[in-house]
Amino acid sequence: MTTYDLVIFDCDGVLVDTEPIRDEVVSFLLNESGLQVSPEEVARRSTGLADAVMWEMFQADLGSPLPVDILDRHLSMEEERYRIYLQAMPGAVEAVGHLVAAGMPVCVASNGTLERMEVTLGVTGLAGYFGKYVFGISQVAHGKPAPDIYLLAAQRMGVSPSRCAVIEDSRLGAEAGLAAGMTVLGYCPHEDLWGLEKLGVQTFSDMSVLAGLVGLGR
């Protein structure tokens, strides 16, 4: 028996390197709207948040309504850049492919939208590994750090939460996985920026070790 019966991947920052693109787009739109926020601050304050929650937060900072078309512009600008510049996270395609070849069930559960993930997983060559087993924010009442999206994924995949491993890169996502009663493995390719180890999460920096962490060996 393997250590887990299902590996659930977060998407942004774990499978695909969307976050730098997203942070630049959001910073540009906020600056254009009169709120000076750097891409670095966008990352610090909003990594792991659903888009709607993020925009509500920044609108409160601005103290007046943001342009009514800001979400549509955000999504269109992101998609345009994703199709040109987006890359998979280093080693992600190989790691997922190894798990699938070894017979490990996998899926994606994200605070992002299904429409965005169709683009990001598609252009990076990851979509084929997950098929229809991709779960997004529109399918649950509450996004991360609530456990809803992870519990939905486990239910749809027919696996007990206690037999699931979650691969996360953000504190909000890690909190969601832990609240769902799952084991969380923290992907920190640079360093533990979000303090995941303080939550009791085992961290790793290289996707090549993932198979071993979930009990499959190299």
**Is the pLDDT score of 184 beyond 70?**
yes
Residue 52 has a pLDDT of 87
Instruction: Evaluate if residue 31 carries a pLDDT over 90.
Output: yes
* Same domain, residue pair 58 and 116: no
Provide the residue range defining the domain that includes 170.
6-18+87-213
Kindly state the DSSP code that residue 8 receives in the 8-state scheme.
Answer: E
Q: Is the pLDDT score of 210 beyond 60?
A: yes
* Residue 80 shares a structural domain with residue 174: no
Please count the other Cβ atoms lying within 10 Å of the Cβ belonging to residue 192.
Answer: 14
Q: What is the Cβ-side half-sphere exposure of residue 22, based on CA atoms within 13 angstroms?
A: 24
Do 68 and 106 reside in the same domain of the chain? Answer: no
Q: Tell me if 25 is assigned to some domain.
A: yes
The CATH number assigned to the domain holding 116 equals 3.40.50.1000
Instruction: Give tens-digit pLDDT for 41-56.
Output: 999 999 888 888 999 9
DSSP 8-state class, residue 125: T
Q: How confident is the model at residue 2 (pLDDT cuts 50, 70, 90)?
A: low
Helices 51-62 and 70-85, axial angle in degrees (round to 10): 130
Last residue of a domain, one of 68, 85, 102: 85
User: Distance (Å, rounded) from C-alpha 8 to C-alpha 141?
Assistant: 19
As for how many domains the chain has, the answer is 2
Q: What is the pLDDT of residue 154?
A: 98
Please tell me the distance from the alpha carbon of residue 143 to that of residue 112, in angstroms, as a whole number. 9
Q: Is 131 exposed, middle or buried (0-12, 13-18, 19+ CB in 10 A)?
A: exposed
* Averaged pLDDT for residues 160-165: 98
Cα separations in angstroms, 122 against 30, 100, 130: 28, 17, 11
Nearest to 124 by CA among 94, 99, 153, 98: 94
Region 184-197: mean pLDDT is 92
| Confidence (pLDDT) at 207 | 97
pLDDT confidence tier of residue 191, bands split at 50, 70 and 90: confident
